[in-house]
Amino acid sequence: MNRDGIVEFVAVVEQRSFTLAAKKLRISTAKVSRQVSALETRLSSRLLNRTTRVVTPTELGQQFYHQCRHILDQLDDAERFVSEQQLTPSGKLMLTAPVTYGERIIAPVVNDFLTLHPRIEVSLNLTNQVVDLVQENYDLAIRLGHLESSSLIARRLGSRTLFTCASPEYFEQHGLPQSVADLARHQCIAGTSAHWQFNVNGRVVTYRLSNARLRCNSGVGIRDAARKHLGIIQLPDYYVADDIEAGRLKVILPAQQIDDDGIWAIYPQTRHVSTKVRLLLDYLVTRLSPGA
């Protein structure tokens, strides 16, 4: 492929001037003009409309410009990628994650990542608020469960399981629910969501907690209530897995348990993902994937 004149042509289109294009490329105006003219001759097409005041692309030139711009961007990204591989990754990363999952899972993983990359700095903000990554200049966000449609890129890191459970002592006193409908006769404890989800005959069914005895926006708080035999809860595995294994909490309706939710890394859509961001993404996938 003969690339002669393409860089000059793109510069002229973007600058709307041979003189300004030459200044940007740090070459003479005459050379820019010769290269673009040679390109038009080689393609047997007029790409630019030239006047004494401004230079604009023809209809064909505009289409050709977009294709050339895309190719040049890809070449820039390829060169940047190779250059970054020769350097020790460094710089600051802005990361946000939900509070409890961040404390228990993400923070330890990030700490291990930092021991491997001593020149990288991480600012980890744990919040249950949905942060605007672009406006607040974050590199990555960890999100749990269903994702809303957006222009951000999502990469699946792993999965979480929702367990519906209570203490054995609670079930000894109130009986064991045999179906989702039986929950209406029980003391349920609501967290940040007033709705629980179940899989009934292959279909996701939402159960509304109209009979919640306690409502609390802290997973740790409602787990404690369940430990103290106050009622039934539905929480992700990272809250209750240890209690279930130790017998302090008992899982109910396992056949109606929904499929695992996703754990996602979300990041802004850009042409090039920096080496430090890519390294953290890959490390999170390695550590959080099933069986890790």
pLDDT, tens digit only, all 292 positions of the chain: 567 889 999 999 999 999 999 998 999 999 999 999 999 999 999 999 988 778 999 999 999 999 998 888 888 777 776 666 556 777 899 999 998 889 989 999 999 999 999 889 999 999 888 888 877 888 999 998 777 767 788 888 888 889 999 999 999 999 999 999 999 999 999 988 788 989 888 888 889 988 788 999 888 999 999 999 999 999 988 899 999 999 999 999 999 998 778 889 988 876 567 788 889 999 998 898 765 5
Domain hosting 131: range is 91-160+261-288
Cα-Cα-Cα-Cα torsion 6, 12, 13, 16, nearest 10 degrees, comes to: 180
| Token representation of residue 9 | 């042509």
Q: Is 1 within a domain?
A: no
Amino acid at 223: R
Q: Are 264 and 157 in contact (CB under 8 A)?
A: yes
Q: What is the CATH number of the domain that holds 107?
A: 3.40.190.10
Sign of CA dihedral 97, 99, 101, 105: positive
Task: State both tokens at 187.
Answer: 């003391």
Distance, CA of 189 to CA of 186 (rounded, Å): 10
Is 234 found in the same domain as 198?
yes
76 and 217 co-located in one domain:
no
75 lies in the same domain as 33: yes
Asked if 159 contacts 263 with a C-beta cutoff of 8 angstroms, the reply is yes
Residue whose tokens read 């909490």: 249
Are residue 215 and residue 278 in the same domain, yes or no? no
Q: Which residues of 226-241 are buried (b: 16+ CB within 10 A; e: fewer)?
A: bbebbbbbbbbebbbe
Backbone φ, ψ for residue 233 (5° rounding)? -125, 160
Report the predicted TM-score, pTM, of the whole model to 2 decimal places. 0.57
Q: What is the CATH number of the domain that holds 166?
A: 3.40.190.290
**Whose CA is closest to 238, among 156, 158, 161, 142?**
161
**pLDDT tens-digit profile of 252-271?**
999 999 877 888 998 887 65
Question: What total number of domains does the chain contain?
Answer: 3
Q: Determine the angle formed by the axes of helices 6-15 and 18-25, rounding to 10 degrees.
A: 120
Query: Are both 57 and 190 inside the same structural domain?
Result: no
Domain match, 167 and 129 both? no
Do residues 150 and 265 share a domain?
Answer: yes
